[in-house]
Amino acid sequence: MQVRDIMNQNVVSIEPGESAALAARLLARHNVGALPVCSSKGVLQGIISDRDIILRCVAAEEDPGGLKVGEIMTRYPCAVAPEDDIRQAAQLMSSKQIRRLPVVERGQVVGMVSLGDLAKCGRYEMEVSRALLDISENIRQP
């Protein structure tokens, strides 16, 4: 099974010059945990998660209205292609300790795939379980 079979194609993205406050509102409005950060032409430049906003903005006592997404995003995010096998996506999530991956085709973000998407497909429980376990163990360790 390929990533294209399970990815979410309704991607909400944000540009690096937008505020962290707008990113937080978009995350809440669309009930997602991360947004790909793209140029005006849709080219992936980073990713910003709810955790990035909490740790790099709120906990750092920065003003979310004045802080730009580009200042707190994770640069050079891992990504997959629509034709990649979903086991490769699960292994990448596990090895890099991440829950969401942008799906990029011809330089453009065309979707997002999450551990939840992998779990819903029901065919690769071991890979999904291993990825979640690896990520969860990393969070618990100081």
Task: Pick the closest to residue 22 from 70, 55, 60, 61 (CA basis).
Answer: 70
**76's torsion region: left (phi>0), alpha (psi -120 to 50) or beta?**
left
In degrees rounded to 5, what are phi and psi of residue 81?
-105, 155
N-to-C CA span, the chain = 36
pLDDT at 68: 97
Q: What is the pLDDT of residue 134?
A: 60
Query: Which of 9, 5, 74 lies closest to 44 in space, CA to CA?
Result: 74
Return the pLDDT at 125.
54
pLDDT by residue, tens only, the chain of 142 residues? 899 999 999 999 999 999 999 999 999 999 999 999 999 988 999 999 999 999 999 999 999 999 999 999 999 999 999 999 998 998 898 888 888 999 999 989 999 999 888 877 765 555 555 665 565 555 544 4
- Indicate the helix (H) or strand (E) that contains 25: helix 20-30
Half-sphere exposure of 106 (CA within 13 A, CB side): 1
E strand residue ranges, the chain:
34-38, 44-49, 74-75, 100-105, 108-114
How much is the pLDDT for 117? 84
